[in-house]
Amino acid sequence: MYAVVTLQESKELTVIPTNWLNEHKTQCHWPPFKTPEKCLEVIKNRLEPARGIHSWELLNIVCHWEHDSYRLFNEKPEVVSEQVECMYAVVTLQESKELTVIPTNWLNEHKTQCHWPPFKTPEKCLEVIKNRLEPARGINAWQQLNMVFHGEYAAYRPAKEKCEAVSEQMERPSTSLGCFEKQKTINPILAALTSQSTQTFGVKRKRDDESPDISRQSLLIKDMDQKKKAKQIMDEINVKVQAIQDTDPTITTIKTHILDAISKMNEDTRKKETIGIFGRTGEGKSSLLNAVLGDQFLLPSGGCGACTAVITQVEANLNDSNYIAEIDLISKEEWEEEFALSDEVEENQLTEMTKERINALFGADAEEKTLEELKRDDKYKEIFNDLSAGKKIISSSDPSAFASNVVCYLENSVANPGGCFWPLVKSVTIKIPNCREFLEHIVLIDLPGTGDCNKIRDDLWKTKIRECSAVWIVSDIKRAITDRDPWGILDHCIEDLGPGGECKHINFICTKTDDMKPAEYLRSVRLTEAQISGQGLDVKTKCILHRNDLAQKTIKLKLKSTKSEESKERFITDVFTVSSTAFFDPELHLKDVETEIPKLRDILINQNKSINQQLTRDYINEAKGILSLLQSVQLDKDKNMTKARILKDLQTDLEKNLMLLDDHFEDLHEKLKKCLSKGVEESVRLCVKTTQDMLSSVRPKCNRGFHRIFRAMCCRGGFYWPRNWNEPLDLNKCLSKHMYDSINKEFVLMFPVDDNDKTEKSMQDKLDKFSIILPTSPMLYPIHIFIQTQENKLKASLSRVIVEKKKEIYFTIYAAIERKMAPGFKKAAEVKGEGSMQRMEKVIMETIDELKVQMFNEAKVEMLEMFNNLKLHIMKTLESELKTSVNHSLSQISKFNLLDVCREIQELEKLLAAV
């Protein structure tokens, strides 16, 4: 028997005897022979691989298919190549739990999602699958589904056979969750491929017979087990390396390097993924979070005028079973400054917001007191003592007691003022136990509607939004259906999510779906109860499900029409219709899956699992690299001459590739410079008119009260978010508009945050293609593996640096304008008396006109300087780290063996194959 395989290192397609394969067909033995003639001879004769001291090298492979004769491969190599390229995958779609076959070109890079076509007829679906139609992207992109990958096969028939075998092995039919018309694009395809029954529109979604949590938990444990086993191997190596007693300087250097590397492996400082939850006050953000977390009363939700008032970050407590709140308080100086600003804005009278803060802290009668009287109050002194600590920790194993203790720091209760400490709080981090499965590597941030006039929280809000890798936009289902633009709440900060941030996914979540008056709804959609499908359901449930479907279709149409805008088309979007109340209340007759809370939890579980797998792969690969270093420094003496040649080649190749990378980065620098120059020109020409137009668009017709808003903006350096405004008044953003418009298109191409968006124009793409690894002989395989591991680790780390630094680079324009305009805003804020509005505006316009040339040119220079600093950091890091790695791997230590790590490397390779 022979097998067609692809060697993963070199991507070469070849034929080998099946007795060269390991048990799981993930690796093959490879002979040490160098001539093609000798290799062909041992392949045809199916020579048994050598083991023991002179064992053949083990290579990672993808095994495509097997055949009983070598003749087919020899006589028709083009057939072999064609069949291998046309591979199919067996997968389970996670949402519907359906097993099916798809082309491998529908899979994403990590094989955790697949593209799914919009065709409805089974015949058409089978046709596109067998013809391996390329998925559509862009405006008409195919849907992306979460899935579990089972395996790849050379042709459709063996994949279909495997699909049937897996189905039998599972010993249960796959259940469908689909029941709405919105899923008709999926079910007919699955019916054709898997011969499983599906449900038609109008029938309630069924609850799964088995909880998917069991299989998910086992997958999570599996990933943890692989990493734990790898860690045990490295702990044993750590002990053995520490036991090496030798005064040779080279051995001491290598020993220290290995021990440091093992220590750093356990100190992964990669930040967690952040999901930001947006929504207007009262839309149900906190209730949604409580439902996802499985605790109805953990966070305060709207009721009797109460709502969450501060930025609340929710993550997993991985250390014990306690609920923990870390409350970050403002400083005494910041508290005093807030009052000073309020006095300036209202000319020594307390603003409405200041009154609200005082009432929240001291009670309803406190606003009648002067500031001096308040300072003499014992409660005021107590507050100042708390502020001096900077942070407060609340911890409890009882969730009810915890919620009671923490609510006063989160909630703004209009109905019951006094004893609410949110005015003193910057943010709250809540750590929840027993949620490793979906929050181990993910942070949820409840971002309350800003506009509380607090500069500290506004600045923090801007920072947090740039950290979001995904966003959930929460809106009452009634508002969501009638809103003309679903993006409205994000329009003012779309640049902070896109080019200035790292957001990939935006989910639109319609809440309060259980809030239904059937008679009113039927009248509004001009239908009777009989016209709405749902046999055996009560009228309210039928109306809820009908409106959910209507909302999904309506919002998706709106999204499709608005995504044509460049600033929005890069985001992957989806729509959910949820009921947090019905999730906890069975009396509302909605099953769990119909509340769609489990679907949101699935997003977190799948994302968490994907991160876990990547971290496990990275850990095992790094461990393998360290052990390969141990192997490389122990090569036989006669191989040291080869090592010397390789050292010279690698050093030469490093210099050459660094020069090429520098040229690529310089091209990007010139493109950015050209865009910025255009932006400076447009800004100088149009900035005064753009500012005047913006102020005219927000100024009330009667001009009433606008002077207070304008003064508040000047007091806060050009940014102010008035209460009841949908977006802030941001003069600095207005001034930076033309510069950002000039760079956005190229900037997004240069700095994509999604691997799928990488192009030749991106900095990450140039970095990915950088390599100093040369084709090496099998006997120097350990050197090859170690350097490749170091390269991959280094490039992954630098890619994360690029994503973080590009945010700073993008913000440079805004920061430069904010800094240059600061004296002008301060001067305008000091204008008092009659006609102050006109005089304040005149000061600002004169400042803009006076500074515009210098201001925009400085912004250009600073952005290019920061880009250049990033380029230099990448170049220096690559040069320094790779030189060190090369020197370590080619160190001349051959007088005796330090450690034999062949067995450990093989164990790591098995663990890696199982991830």
If you average pLDDT over residues 411-416, what whole number do you get? 72
Whether 167 has a pLDDT exceeding 70, the answer reads yes
Where are the strands (E) in 664-742, listed by range?
Answer: 719-720, 729-730
Query: CA 468, CA 276: separation in Å to the nearest integer?
Result: 6
CA-based nearest residue to 596, from 577, 570, 613: 577
Q: Which two tokens stand for residue 743?
A: 């760079």
**pLDDT exceeds 90 at position 882:** yes
The CA distances from residue 449 to 54, 710, 725, in Å, are: 68, 21, 10
Q: What is the pLDDT of residue 421?
A: 85
User: In the predicted model, is pLDDT for residue 203 greater than 60?
Assistant: no
**How far is C-alpha 227 from the chain's CA centre?**
22
Helix 731-750, helix 836-889: angle, nearest 10? 30
Question: Which range has the worst mean pLDDT, 489-498, 659-668, 798-807?
Answer: 489-498
Q: Which range, 218-222, 390-394, 575-579, has the best average confidence (pLDDT)?
A: 575-579
The reported pLDDT for the residue numbered 99 is 86
Cα–Cα distance for residue pair 715/453, rounded to 1 Å = 11
Confidence label for 212 from pLDDT (cuts 50, 70 and 90): very low
What gap in Å lies between CA 509 and CA 447, rounded to an integer? 15
Number of other CB atoms surrounding residue 868 within 10 Å: 13
The predicted structure's pLDDT at residue 152: 78
CA distance 728 to 723: 9
3-state secondary structure of 598: helix
Q: What is the pLDDT of residue 867?
A: 97
Encoded tokens for 895? 């007088």
> Is 374's pLDDT higher than 80?
no
Pairwise CA distance, residues 506 & 574, whole Å: 7
Find residue 329's DSSP bridge partners: 425
At 826, is the pLDDT very low, low, confident or very high (cuts 50, 70, 90)? very high
Inform me whether the pLDDT recorded for 371 exceeds 50.
yes
Residue-wise pLDDT for 517-574, tens only, equals: 999 999 999 999 888 888 888 999 999 999 999 999 998 888 877 655 666 777 888 9
470 pLDDT above the threshold of 60 = yes
- Please identify which residue in the block is written with the tokens 């599996």: 222
Across the chain, mean pLDDT equals 81
Q: Picking from 108-112, 316-320, 603-607, which range would have the lowest pLDDT averaged per residue?
A: 108-112
- pLDDT-derived band at 753 (thresholds 50, 70, 90) equals confident
What does the pLDDT look like over 23-77, one tens digit per residue? 878 788 888 877 777 888 888 888 888 876 667 888 888 777 777 777 666 655 5
Single out the residue of 297, 277, 301, 303 nearest to residue 475, CA to CA.
277
Which residue type is seen at 421? F
Average pLDDT over residues 310-337: 89
Higher pLDDT, 364 or 347: 364
Task: Report d(CA 339, CA 346) in Å as an integer.
Answer: 11
Q: List Cα–Cα distances, 485 to 474, 499, 572, 600, 740, in angstroms.
A: 13, 21, 17, 23, 23
Establish how many alpha carbons lie within 13 A of residue 817's alpha carbon, considering only the half-sphere containing its beta carbon: 28
The class of domain 273-331+390-595 in CATH terms is: alpha beta
Query: Where do the domains of the chain lie?
Result: 2-81, 87-194, 273-331+390-595, 635-698+731-892
Report the range of poorest mean pLDDT among 93-97, 531-535, 808-812.
93-97
- The residue type at 498: G
